[in-house]
Amino acid sequence: MKKILLAILIVGTTIAVGFRVSADSLVYRLYNHNTGEHFYTTSATERDFDIKVGWTDEGLGWVAPDKGTTVYRIYNPNAVGGDHYYTKSKYEAQSLVNKGWKWDNQGKSVFYSGGNLPIYVAYNPNAQSGAHNYTGNSNEENNLINIGWKYKAVAWNAVSLSVNPSNNSLQELADGMNAESSNIISESGGIFTKAIVTVSGNTLVITFTLSQNMGVVSPDEIVGMKNNLASLFNENESIFKSIGTANLSVRYNFKNPDGSLAASIAYP
């Protein structure tokens, strides 16, 4: 089961509390109808940008481990429509770069190979853009081979092909966060003394006890805090959607040492 952990960020004098996914990485799959290319990324931000400019979201491609064999992504700017290629071989990637391809992601791993499930690659010798297709679905792979694609090889391995929403109930999320709450207390540098996560309906309620009295934060200040943290909240939403938990609300309560409420911020 994937765990969702609390993460802390200090933006100026504002306390930003968000979430991060531990362990495995979700690899998103997108499709460009204009070029025929599929694109694979672990970045929800990159996925959302591509969707805005016309790519089709095909959901989760597979779940990759957080470490293992590096998979590189390179880009061919000379192909009509552009083309991306993925490989575990740094030598192969560098050879193509020497011929005019470009390193993607600054030559760093875009995700890792590991696990017991094969991710197949098929090659279309008649295409410039979208010449390679990667999938964990053997039926999809076989269908491509039957219509003239080549290879039918295993490109790398994955941990899973899906994330089971039943393993990500709100109570399980809350239990996982509570089990790791001591980490955020340490990361806060003395700002918090306690963090407790509870569930109320379809809302995660995260209550922090402050080490010093803040009094009562004004409504205008709360609106300002929420606006300043909008990008973090949006990233949180992407994380929850990616694990199959939809229509989720989050409420952050900040309490003074005496138990009085300093601020309460709800999202969305």
Question: pLDDT digits over 43-52, tens only?
Answer: 888 999 999 9
Number of alpha carbons in the 13 Å side-chain half-sphere of residue 56: 9
Q: What is the tens place of the pLDDT at every residue in 137-170?
A: 999 999 999 999 998 899 999 988 865 444 456 7
Write the single-letter amino acid at 163: V
CB contact at 8 A, 147 and 165: no
How is the chain split into domains, by residue range?
4-22+165-267, 25-158
Per the prediction, the chain carries an average pLDDT of 83
Cis peptide before 268 (omega within 30 of 0): yes
Kindly state the tokens that stand for 249.
Answer: 């609300």
Strand partners, 28: 41, 60
Q: Is the pTM of this model over 0.75?
A: no
* Those residues with Cβ within 8 angstroms of residue 70's Cβ, 6 or more apart along the chain or in another chain: 88, 90, 109, 112, 113
Q: Please state which architecture CATH assigns to domain 4-22+165-267.
A: 2-Layer Sandwich (3.30)
Does the pLDDT of residue 1 top 60, yes or no?
Answer: no
Distance of CA 146 to the CA centre of its chain: 34
Instruction: Indicate if the pLDDT at residue 229 is higher than 50.
Output: yes
The two tokens of residue 174 are 């809350």
pLDDT at 219: 86
Per-residue pLDDT of 170-200, as tens digits, reads 776 777 678 777 877 887 778 889 989 898 8
Whether the CB-CB separation of 198 and 207 falls below 8 Å is answered with yes
Residue percentage of the chain with pLDDT more than 90: 46
